[in-house]
Structures are given as C-alpha cells and as structure tokens.
Amino acid sequence: MRVTVASDHAGYDLKKKVVEHLLAKGFEVEEAGALSADVPYDYVEAGIKVAEDVASGKSDRGIAICGTGIGIAVVVNKHKGIRCGTCTNEYMARMSRCHNDANVIALGARVIGYQVALGIVDAFFEEEFAGDRHAVRVNEIKALEEKYFK
C-alpha cells in the first residue's frame, strides 16, 4: 500500500513520526509538504498534494497533517473522490473507514500527542469499509460530487 503523508510547518514533527512509523510497518510512503517546523508552509499546498495523489491513484491512501487537522481536511475534501475526516482518537479513525470509506485522514499536531496519533494511523489501516447501508450513503456522497465537482 502506498501512502502520501504531507503536512504544513505545524504538522512537521508529527509527519516525521508518522512517516517513520509507516516505513517500519512496510508501507510505501510519499512524503510531502513542509521541510521544517520553522519555515511557514501553507496547509493548502500540503493538502492539495495529498488529495491529488489519492484522487489520481498514485497513492492508495493519504494522511494530512496541520496544527488542528481542520484546515487541511477542508482542503482535501474539496477534491473529487476524496473522503477525509479529522480524527482525534482511534474510534474516529475506525469509523471513518467502516462507515465513510475514508481514503484520507487528517491529524491535528497541536491537538493530539504522538502515541495517540500513531494509534489513529494504525486503526485507519486496520479497519475495512462495512459496505451495506453505509455504501448507500457513500454513493449518495459520490452523486453529490458528480453534481458539484468537475
């Protein structure tokens, strides 16, 4: 599985932890976004990279990190084919997969600690989409995309 992980400056340190964690688990990782915690880097640019990689099929999943996990989630959700939730605990990560078939999660580096973040990341990859009634709802979301997104 190939994963794009990108952050702004606020998410840089957590991004490095997440990348290290995924590489240790055998994932193929595309790292993008901020090159340092000290030099401002817009979460918009980082989010676009994650979304474009996943929407194009270059990566299977994405992890988008900023200070709150909110701004970058807004950005990635502006892309057709992307379903991203900001997760602050493992339950949210599991449900984002199980109920929403999320292909990206957003993390807030100023909100959660490293251990919680890595637990969220593991849950995101462990959980499967449940389908059934949830597939009906995800298909409704896809229909919205057809209506409003190019």
Q: Figure out which of the listed residues 43, 54, 59, 83 binds ligand RB5, where binding follows CB under 6 A.
A: 43
Active-site residue, 21 included: no
Q: Figure out which of the listed residues 67, 83, 88, 107 binds ligand RB5, where binding follows CB under 6 A.
A: 67
Pick the stretch among 14-22, 67-75, 119-127, 128-136 that binds ligand RB5 (CB under 6 A): 67-75
Write down the least CB distance from residue 49 to ligand RB5, Å: 15
How many residues does this entry show for the chain? 150
Number of residues that bind ligand RB5 (CB under 6 A): 8
* Residue 105 within binding range of ligand RB5, rule CB under 6 A: no
> CA-to-CA distance for 82 and 93, rounded, in angstroms?
15
Specify burial of residue 50 (Cβ count, 10 A radius: 0-12, 13-18, 19+).
Answer: buried
Q: Rounded to an integer, what is the distance from CA 141 to the centroid of its chain?
A: 18
Q: Figure out which of the listed residues 37, 48, 66, 104 binds ligand RB5, where binding follows CB under 6 A.
A: 66
Greatest Cα-to-Cα distance within the chain, rounded to the nearest angstrom: 46
